[in-house]
Amino acid sequence: MTGSTLLNDYRRWQRFQEQDRLGREHGAAVRKLEGSGAMASKLAEAYRSMAGRAAAEGACYRTLFEREQEDGSTLACEGWLFIRRVISEGGTTRVRATMLESFTLEHGRIPPGERPAYSITLELFDQISIQRGMAMSSRVDRQDAAGDIRFVTFVDAVQNYKAHMQV
């Protein structure tokens, strides 16, 4: 086995390790959100606060989400959201944001600026879970493209990537 083959195998192993870690972190965050019983209106308030801080300070927020694969499975991904605005109308709440992906299994760890940021629209909604009794919780999915679901955005994980958020 050559040195370059060995290093490539090691990097691939690291990528799968990171994928596993993000999958566990995302699962724990979703369970915590579901357990809190936070409704979509409460999430909308949090996103409005993030939008205000983004406008004032250029704040971008770490987000984990699942991306559906061709076989129906999902893989956790990581990115940074620059929240532009929150729109509530007709009983729905949408979040307009710019996303900079920072990890996918296909690309591994993605340094800021290596790939272009893109605009996304998220939809916040309430859901009823009947898995362990009946419980209400909220969920955030991407509305403008299929496949990206269950967004969890961390209010306490903030960076200023505004320079990389040009769409």
Task: Work out whether the CA dihedral 130, 90, 41, 83 comes out positive or negative.
Answer: positive
Tens of pLDDT, residues 87-111: 998 888 999 999 999 999 999 999 9
CA separation for the pair 49, 43 (Å, rounded): 10
Mean pLDDT of all residues in 132-157: 88
Give the model's confidence band at 1: pLDDT under 50 very low, under 70 low, under 90 confident, else very high: low
Mean pLDDT of all residues in 58-79: 95
Comparing 167 with 39, which gets the higher pLDDT? Answer: 39
Residue 68: which domain range?
3-164
- Considering its fold, how many domains does the chain have in total? 1
Mean pLDDT of the chain: 91
pLDDT at 167 over 60: no
Q: Which residues, listed in sequence order, are joined to residue 152 by a DSSP beta bridge?
A: 64
Q: For 39-45, which contacts have Cβ atoms below 8 Å and span 24 or more sequence positions? A: 39/126, 39/136, 39/137, 39/138, 40/93, 40/124, 40/125, 40/126, 40/138, 40/139, 41/93, 42/138, 43/93, 43/124, 43/138, 43/140, 44/86, 44/88, 44/93, 44/124
How far lies 64's CA from each of 78, 135, 139, in Å? 5, 23, 13
Quote the percentage of the chain above a pLDDT of 90: 69
pLDDT at 133 over 80: no
Q: Which pLDDT score, from 0 to 100, does residue 102 have?
A: 97
Q: Which pLDDT score, from 0 to 100, does residue 83 have?
A: 96
pLDDT at 137 over 90: no
Q: Which pLDDT score, from 0 to 100, does residue 128 have?
A: 75
